[in-house]
Structure 1
Amino acid sequence: MQENFTMLAKTLFGFEELLANELTQMGAQDVKQGTRSVSFVGDKGFMYKANLGLRTAIKILKPIATFRVRNENDLYKELYAMPWENYMTPKNTLAVDATIHSDLFTNSLYIALKTKDAIVDKFRDTTGERPNVDLKFPDLKINIHIDRQQCTVSLDSSGDSLHKRGYKTATNIAPINEVLAAGLVMLSGWDGQSDFMDPMCGSGTILIETAMIACNIPPNLMRKEFAFERWQDWDVDLFEKIEESLLKKTRDFHHKIYGYDKAPSAVLKAKDNIKNAHLEDFIEVKHEDFFKTQKGGDAKLHMLFNPPYGERLNLDMEAFYKNIGDTLKQNYPNTDAWFITSNLEALKHVGLRPSRKIHLYNAKLEARLVKYQIYEGSKKGKYLK
């Protein structure tokens, strides 16, 4: 039996509950929500599974030490005393990143440098050799987190952020992060029992994440590497067994997932990314201007999109958002329409009353995920004004 240990999954603001639910369903023990993070308990196989299968996690950290620090000397001494030989050799490379929430420490780069010094000095003093730093492809990636006087040292098991799924080779202006896209689909409550549409699909991220959710495909199967593959205890047989067990849980999907974009270049990029993700059988993308389209058929439609916010594009945003509202109420009956925006002023011009508003961030932009329920039938009274 492998031994269990505590891990920390990092996520985006507002996704903590989604991630906690994912972890619980995956079989994690002692799941506890924090701010932009969820802690949980599992073994090495579960760490592999979490990296492969979690849709709303950005990183999986494995804490290996916690101690109090009042100054840089405390930090150096505590780090120097740790048994780094359990995790690496002087022949290995390392990288350190630090996050700080403390009045005592203010410079995260300096803390990362001090950490590197302590580890390198320890190896030099005990073996006569020193490990080198490699910021791009280190053998061991170390995370330092200082909250007031509490310092936690963790090994980063993921490496690159888990939003880098591996399917995206082409992007357009302001592409949406894959973890954000997956979380939006989950927050919108889409259950796979209706058609799904992204009317401004850009490079196709929301469509791809939706199809992976619909078919229960692990999101990170296509990644080239996880950081734990360079660890001393890397178990390739166990990893392949976990991968196989996740693949056995994929399922068929019998509705349509489709997207429009009015830019031909975006449509080509979306098709490329969909092909890279091996999801051409599930997603259709067309070159269409959403404002000139209408819903086909009477069946319920679930819509989710990421319209321009006016940050990078020179548009009359008030007119643009009014056009969104007009198109929805005139051409899309029996539709649950969700979209995310940081342009809270333009949002007032949609001309429909949202039935839900969820506070999120898109990168550093404060945003809202809003839902509009467009009802079937009379255009006078049945949709929400």
Structure 2
Amino acid sequence: MKLLVKTFHGLEEVLADELREIGANDVTPIKRAVTCTGDKEVLYKANLHLRTALRVLVPVLKFKAKTEDELYQNIYKYDWSAHITEKNTFAIDAVAFSDFFKHTKYLALKTKDAIADQFRDKNGQRPSVNIEKPDLQINVHVSHDQFTVSLDSSVESLHRRGYRNPHHKAPLNEVLAAGMLKIAKWHKDIPLIDPMCGTGTILMEAAMMACDMAPGFKRKHFGFMSWADYDKALWEKIHTEAENKIRYPKVNIVGGDNNPQAVDMAKTASLDFRLNRQIRIVRSNMEDHMPPAPRGMMITNPPYGERLTKDNINEFYKKIGSHLKKNYTDWQAWIITSNTEALKHVGLRPDSKYTLFNGPLECKFVAYDMFEGEMKEFKKKINRTKRRIDS
């Protein structure tokens, strides 16, 4: 079957590598998604194992339409009884980038009407709509006049691992945090620090990676579990295999934050996932947090400036740069921020730079190689460490 796996802009290649690792074929990165092919096992593993995926869609229908009637007729003609019966529930999620269809709610309504009318015309009954927990979530995507209609095998976004209170809006998405760790090529043998960890998203994603814990391991429900062809035995086999792979190695993952509530939430998350031995979190200011090892990696998400004035935020980023230069020799420091002006005040030349999106915010994810003496000698140290880890 064909799969369309959604992700954030900038993480397409990372997601493509993940899909190849679970056995997907014909893997092709596109804008904010990756297409591939795979069997039911790949579909189930994609939902369980992919750290940089937002949702896994199965395209079932493609057509062109410029009018409401053309949309309705194409949806109506497709045999929806292959996926649901009149006793099931369904919901429509619509996304539109089109001059012909500008209102996604109306687009979803016309799609719903076409499906309901098909069932009513055949047997006098129709399935009900259930927005909260449908048996079948249908995704409708239109670009200009090109429609792709897919079955959503995830339903709830895959970034919801289960370690965060769903009512708490964290500044960093879990999928983005995992993608950042993969872009930085962090490995469990490399000491990791986040001195502005907030509720601990980067720390949690790193610890789950270190322990080989599947990101969807704690999830109780995926959309495919309500499908007519759901293979419960296959899913239980895949889930058991994932459980048996989990290990709890000794790692050096450290976080700090000056917000006591955020620190408490981060500690609670690590306890809930039994990762409290892998993660050490303390209450501290950024400039007081010292490296826990002679060499390692810092990955952090500092304030972008929403709560600070322009002068204060620039001064804060200058303080970050000074702290790195003074205390983090032989470390690699990665910073993500949407405040490119403040980033200049770090006062260091980035060695790597990526464009990523944190929700609607375009961000720069940059790396600084902190060294003392000649760059050539510093790179030799880094290469020796990488060779040791790879071997």
TM range (shorter): over 0.9
- Please say if 1:111 is aligned against 2:107: yes
Say which SS state the counterpart of residue 245 (structure 2) adopts: coil
1:234 and 2:238 correspond: no
Contact 2:170 2:199 in 1 (8 A): no
Give the Cα–Cα distance (whole angstroms) in 2 for the partners of residues 281 and 212 of structure 1: 12
**1:309 equivalent in structure 2:** 304
Check whether the contact 2:98–2:145 (CA below 8 A) recurs between aligned residues. Answer: yes
Structure 1 residue 76 corresponds to structure 2 residue 76 = no
Partner of 1:142: 138
Q: Which residue matches 2:179? A: 183
Go from structure 1 to structure 2 and tell me whether the alpha carbon gap of 1:37 and 1:263 turns closer, same or farther (over 3 Å shift): same
CA distance in 2, matches of 1:288, 1:153: 49
Q: Of the candidates 196, 214, 222, which is equivalent to residue 218 of structure 1?
A: 214
Distance in 2 (CA, whole Å) between partners of 1:173 and 1:49 is: 27
Q: Residues 106-160 of structure 1: CA distance to partner in whole angstroms, max 9, x if unpaired?
A: 2111111100000011111111112111111111100011122221110000011
Following the alignment from structure 2 to structure 1, what is the Cα–Cα distance between the partners of residues 262 and 168?
6
SS of residue in 2 equivalent to 1:48: helix
Letter in 1 for 2:19: L
2:329 counterpart of 1:333 = yes
**Structure-to-structure mapping, 1:287-306, within 5 angstroms:** 287-298=283-294, 300-306=295-301
How many residue pairs were aligned? 376
Match of 2:339 in 1: 343
1:260 aligns with 2:256: yes
1:229/1:297 CA distance change after superposition, 3 Å: closer
Describe the shift of the 1:91–1:12 C-alpha distance in structure 2 as closer, same or farther (beyond 3 A): same
Asked if 2 retains the 8 angstrom alpha-carbon contact of 1:170 and 1:203, the reply is no
Aligned pair in 2 of structure 1 residues 74, 172: CA closer, same or farther (>3 Å)?
closer
2:16 counterpart of 1:15:
no
Structure 2: runs of 5 or more not aligned:
380-391
Residues 238/209 of structure 1: CA separation in 2 closer, same or farther (3 Å cut): same
The aligned residue for residue 165 of structure 2 is 169
Indicate yes or no: 2:197 matched with 1:201.
Answer: yes
Amino acid at match of 2:110: K
2:34 to 31, 38, 44: 38
Residue in 1 that maps onto 2:188: 192
The answer to whether the Cα contact below 8 Å between 1:53 and 1:219 also exists between their aligned partners in 2 is: yes
Q: Secondary structure at the match of 1:304?
A: strand
Shift in Å, 1:295: 2.4
Aligned match of 1:24: 20
- The separation in 2 between residues aligned to 1:6 and 1:174, in whole angstroms, is 33
1:33-72 equivalences in 2 (<5 Å): 33-72=29-68
Match runs of 1:80-99 below 5 Å = 80-99=76-95
Q: State the Cα distance separating 1:189 from its structure 2 match.
A: 1.3
Tell me which moved more, 73-82 or 164-173: 164-173
Match of 2:315 in 1: 319
Aligned partners of 1:14, 1:174: CA distance in 2, in Å? 20
Contact 1:333 1:377 in 2 (8 A): no
Cα shift at 1:6: 0.4
Greater displacement, 163-172 / 15-24: 163-172
Q: Supply the distance in 2 between the matched residues of 1:67 and 1:226 (Cα, whole angstroms).
A: 27
Deviations, residues 71-95 of structure 1 (Å, cap 9, x unaligned): 1111111111111111111121111
Q: Shift in Å at residue 334 of structure 1?
A: 1.1
* Counterpart Cα distance in 2 of 1:173 and 1:143: 25
Alignment-derived partner of residue 98 in structure 2: 102
On the 8 A contact 1:306/1:341 being kept in 2, the answer is: yes
CA distance in 2, matches of 1:173, 1:301: 29
Among 86, 100, 125, the alignment partner of 2:121 is 125
The percentage of aligned residue pairs carrying the same residue is 46
SS of corresponding position for 2:333: strand
Conserved 8 A contact 1:7-1:42: yes
The structure-2 alpha-carbon separation of the partners of 1:89 and 1:313, relative to structure 1 and needing over 3 Å to count, comes to farther
Correspondence 1:286 to 2:282:
yes
Q: 1 or 2, which has the higher helix percentage?
A: 2
User: Which segment drifts farther, 145-154 or 167-176?
Assistant: 167-176
Shift of 1:376: 4.0
Deviation at 1:314, TM superposition (A): 5.4
8 Å contact from structure 2 (residues 9, 32) kept in 1: yes
**Structure 1 residues 382 and 24, CA gap change in structure 2 (3 angstroms):** closer
Q: Secondary structure at the match of 1:255?
A: coil
Q: CA deviation at 1:249?
A: 3.3
* Cα offsets for 1:192-242 (capped at 9, x unmatched): 221111111110111000011122210011113111111111221110101
Structure 1 gap segments, 5+ residues each:
none
- Distance across 2 between alignment mates of 1:95 and 1:309: 37
Q: CA deviation at 1:250?
A: 3.4
For residue 342 of structure 1, report the CA deviation from its aligned partner.
0.4
**Which residue identity is paired with 2:70?**
D
- 3-state SS, counterpart of residue 182 of structure 1: helix
Instruction: Tell me, in whole angstroms, the C-alpha distance in 2 between the residues paired with 1:154 and 1:296.
Output: 48
Cα displacement (A) at 1:294: 2.4
Shift of residue 30 of structure 1? 0.7
Q: 1:323 to 1:20 in 2, by over 3 A?
A: same
Query: Structure 1 residues 192, 35: CA separation in 2 closer, same or farther (over 3 Å shift)?
Result: same
For residues 13-48 of structure 1, give each alpha carbon's deviation from its aligned partner in whole angstroms, at most 9, with x where no partner exists: 000000000001111111011100001111112111
What RMSD over aligned residues (CA atoms) do the two structures have, in Å? 1.9
The Cα of 1:341 is off from its aligned counterpart by 0.2
